[in-house]
Amino acid sequence: MTNLLRSPNGKTRKVHDITAASAGWGYVGFGLYHLKPGETAEEATGDREVILVLVEGKADVSAAGQDFGNMGDRMSVFEKTAPHCLYVAGDSDWRATATTDCVLAVCTAPAKGSYPTQKIGPDGIELTPRGKGQNQRFINNIAMEGREVAGSLLVTEVFTPAGNWSSYPSHRHDEDDFPRMTYLEETYYHRLNPAQGFGIQRVYTEDGTLDETMSVKDGEVVLVPKGHHPCGAPHGYELYYLNVMAGPLRKWRFENDPAHDWIAQRDAD
């Protein structure tokens, strides 16, 4: 049994602190703060780049010697508006002081290249539908490869309507073989609406050496070190997740599970 499902460590301050070392891999880190008005979170980036995502609430944010003012807009992630986000370069620091109740995600990966510390949302982020029928979901692409704002990080938000599937048909990106596929580690930070609900996520390889199906609660994180990783939202509950991906190459190339690729082929028609 692997430790792919991570529950919050308490309800206040830093409730998730997933490092590459604690995850047992080489690239992705994910932290999450729950802050009350007046509380502050601050960190040095060191040899890693960071994307801060104001998941909910507002905060006064500064980074790399710059004051970015009051950031944040949506009070509930399920408002589905574009998030306020900040890219912070390596060898610098950042500080956020909550001005409302605030949920702040800290997405990290090895710093590569030279990218300026800058706001990367909400401007440039537009809610976009993907998929058909019970496979439709809605995407906020915060920092996918079409936006040249980071050296390693790929970050996106996904909203899955009640009763629908997401990250589906099942797909994997666990081989460093560009352009066929890229090796990308991935974290899923899950939220449910209403919050007492649950989602389903399966992480599995085609040879069966890894096969876990998890009931995911509001606020939990799933690690995807390899394999396919579909999600399901039960009837009556919306599912949100924030994805963080990173690997040797900042490209997202994947292959569907051959058993289920017919769905993608059918829906492409």
The CATH number that domain 5-268 falls under is 2.60.120.10
Contact 136, 153 (CB under 8 A): no
pLDDT digits (tens, 9 = 90+) for 168-209: 999 999 999 999 999 999 999 999 999 999 999 999 999 999
- Tokens 């509380």 belong to residue: 39
The predicted model scores a pTM of: 0.97
Label residues 154-178 b or e (16+ Cβ within 10 Å = b).
Answer: bbbbbbbeeebbbbbbbbbbbeeee
- Please tell me the distance from the alpha carbon of residue 107 to that of residue 244, in angstroms, as a whole number: 6
pLDDT digits (tens, 9 = 90+) for 17-74: 999 999 999 999 999 999 999 999 999 999 999 999 999 999 999 999 999 999 999 9
